[in-house]
Amino acid sequence: MSEALSLRLSEALTPAKIGKGVLIALVLLWSLGPIYWALNSSLMQPVDLTAVPPHAFPPAPTLKTYSGLLGLQGAADNATGASIWPHFRAATINSLVTAVAGTLGTIVVAALGGYAFARLRFPGRNIVFGLVVATLAVPGYTVIIPLYRLMIKLGLVDTYLGLTLIYMSAFLPLALWLMRSFFLSLPKSLEEAAQIDGASRLYTLFRIVLPLAMPGLIATAIVTFLSVWQQFSVPLVFSPTYATKPLTVMIPELASRHDLNFGLINAAGILAILPPFVVVVFLNRFLVQGLTAGAGK
């Protein structure tokens, strides 16, 4: 090894940099370790899942659990071999529909409301905003029983509309907060220039402000989508059948009282991760940009 190379290495490997590298490795292990373990388990033969010590890699990899879940072969129903694909398909569609509907509904209201709280002057503006944001501190389970009664009365249990309304009410405060912060971070001068040119408030909002606020809107949409996607306690109560039952409620049902099919559960979990994974990977830059906007305000 040349002297110059060893000098460069010693410059590169400072204790601070090594410490940083170790920390990053630990964080990655902490975050990705469980996902790897789920993937590893999903690819194992059932009989290899209980080995002691456990296998770090599948000794005889199989895609049987995935093919069963996706209906490519009929044998995945734990006890009998009947296909579980119809339920998995229904739950996936339900998760997607409720996540998309909840997200769209939330960002539409959050965009309009956030702009109003940021730019319009009306009596009690800050108090109303403070009250809306304060609802973030209310634990969901404290309102679930009155909400259930209300939904029964309205005939909205086990409907997409009912779930969407619940998700909108649950995630709107955070979305409003994010959108207001984003609008406050935008320069007022553009809006004032448009108004001097005769543009109405709505025209200014839709044609000038919202295009500029797109990173904030996308960030808010991602946060809302991820929050709705992982919902469990709400659909547990409000989605009794496969008309609306999502993956989060369906997957635990794969663990029956008599049988614990780790492989099938992990395969379903891995597939359930994919939609949010795709959303975050492709829209990550908007997420960072949108969430950091207004941070200095």
Among 16, 126, 258, 281, binds other proteins (CB under 8 A): 258
Q: Which is nearer to other proteins, 114 or 235 (CB)?
A: 235
Q: Can you tell me which of 26, 32, 134, 152 binds other proteins, judged by CB under 8 A?
A: 152
Q: Which amino acid is located at 108 in the chain?
A: V
Per-residue mark of binding to other proteins, 26-45 (x: CB under 8 A): -------------------x
Extract the tokens encoding 144. Answer: 């679930």
Q: Please, which residue, 76 or 107, has the CB nearer to other proteins?
A: 76
Task: Report the C-alpha gap between 111 and 202 in whole angstroms.
Answer: 12
The set of long-range contacts for 44-53, using a CB threshold of 8 Å and a minimum separation of 24, is 44/263, 45/263, 46/261, 46/262, 46/263, 49/262, 49/263
Give residue for tokens 């309304």.
165
Q: How far apart are CA 15 and CA 205, in angstroms?
A: 51
The verdict on 237 binding other proteins (CB under 8 A) reads yes
State how far the Cα of 81 lies from the Cα of 91, in Å rounded to an integer.
Answer: 19
The single-letter code of the amino acid at 231 is: Q
Q: State the number of CA atoms in the 13 A half-sphere of 122 facing the CB.
A: 10
Assess contact for 107 and 221: CB atoms under 8 A: yes
- The residue among 43 and 205 lying less far from other proteins, judged by its C-beta, is 43
Per the rule left: phi > 0, alpha: psi between -120 and 50, beta: everything else, 158 is: left
Q: CB of 75: closest distance to other proteins in angstroms?
A: 10
Q: x/- site string to other proteins, residues 170 to 189, per CB under 8 A?
A: --------------------
253: left (phi over 0), alpha (psi -120 to 50) or beta: alpha
- The yes or no reply on residue 139 touching other proteins (CB under 8 A) is no
Task: Give min distance, CB of 233 to other proteins, in A.
Answer: 8
Return the residue of 69, 223, 249, 291 that touches other proteins, per CB under 8 A: 249
Residues 196-235 that bind other proteins (CB under 8 A): 233
Q: Which of 259, 274, 280, 288 binds other proteins (CB under 8 A)?
A: 259
Q: Is 257 in the site for other proteins (CB under 8 A)?
A: yes
Does 288 sit near other proteins (CB under 8 A)? no
Distance CA 236, CA 246 (A): 9
Token pair of 287 as six digits: 């997420």
Residue whose CB is less far from other proteins, 38 or 84: 84
What span, in angstroms and rounded, lies between the C-alpha atoms of 114 and 117?
5
Only segment of 2-10, 20-28, 47-55, 131-139 that touches other proteins (CB under 8 A): 47-55
Q: Which residues of this protein are in contact with other proteins, per CB under 8 A?
A: 45-47, 49-52, 77-80, 82-84, 86-87, 144-146, 148-149, 152, 233, 236-237, 240-241, 249, 252-262
